[in-house]
């Protein structure tokens, strides 16, 4: 008798996939992921499923939000604009931290959790998850002033 897959099985599978995809990106574009590497990652459809353009504009962000992807049409294939707070416009070395956290939404949609986003970003950057999370918290504090 075979065991039924549970929601927890699906969650663990997604988390493992997110971590593996992050490690794949790190291996391909690392060890340092900066602005030039980020732009290359966004163009690679084996890594980022849908077209994604970075826009430094806070008009589509909630107060205190650093970035968020917004679909450009009814289908994901229509692409996304990834709105990034203009605070980071003069800090290109920090933009990957913010963008990578949001890319899981582009690739996997609403199924992902904050934990998945942290796992993915940390894996791509080659950082321990707690170090990546601490960096994001620091950046969020700066944006909120």
Three-state helix/strand/coil letters over 40-102: HHHHCCCCCCCCEEEEECCCCCCCCCCEEEEECCCCHHHCEEEEECHHHCCCCCCHHHHHHHH
18 within domain boundaries: no
State the residue range of the domain holding 114.
23-144
Please tell me the predicted confidence (pLDDT) of residue 1.
58
CA–CA dist 113, 97 (Å, integer): 16
When divided into structural domains, the chain yields a total of 1
Residues of the chain with pLDDT under 70: 1-2
44 within domain boundaries: yes
9 within domain boundaries: no
In contact, 77 and 49? CB cutoff 8 Å: no
Please tell me the predicted confidence (pLDDT) of residue 111.
84
Please tell me the predicted confidence (pLDDT) of residue 14.
87
**Model-level pTM?**
0.92
Residue 76 β-bridge partners: none
Kindly report the CATH number assigned to the domain that includes residue 53.
3.30.2010
Q: Quick one: tokens of 25?
A: 């990106």
Spell 14-50 as b/e; 16+ CB within 10 A means b.
bbeebbebbeebbeebeeebeeebbeebbeeeebbeb
CA–CA dist 44, 107 (Å, integer): 12
Please tell me the predicted confidence (pLDDT) of residue 59.
96
7 within domain boundaries: no
CA–CA dist 38, 95 (Å, integer): 8
Please tell me the predicted confidence (pLDDT) of residue 12.
83
């Amino acid at each position: 008798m075979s065991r039924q897959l549970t929601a927890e099985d699906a969650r663990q599978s997604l988390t493992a996939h997110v971590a593996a995809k992050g490690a794949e990106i790190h291996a391909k574009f690392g060890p340092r992921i900066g602005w030039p590497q980020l732009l290359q990652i966004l163009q690679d459809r084996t890594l980022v499923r849908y077209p994604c353009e970075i826009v430094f504009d806070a008009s589509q962000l909630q107060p205190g939000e650093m970035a968020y992807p917004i679909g450009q049409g009814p289908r994901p294939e229509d692409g996304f604009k990834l709105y990034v707070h203009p605070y980071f416009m003069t800090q290109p070395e920090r933009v990957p931290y913010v963008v990578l956290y949001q890319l899981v939404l582009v690739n996997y949609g609403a199924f992902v959790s904050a934990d998945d986003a942290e796992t993915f970003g940390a894996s791509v950057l080659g950082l321990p998850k707690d170090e990546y999370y601490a960096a994001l918290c620091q950046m969020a504090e700066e944006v909120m002033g």
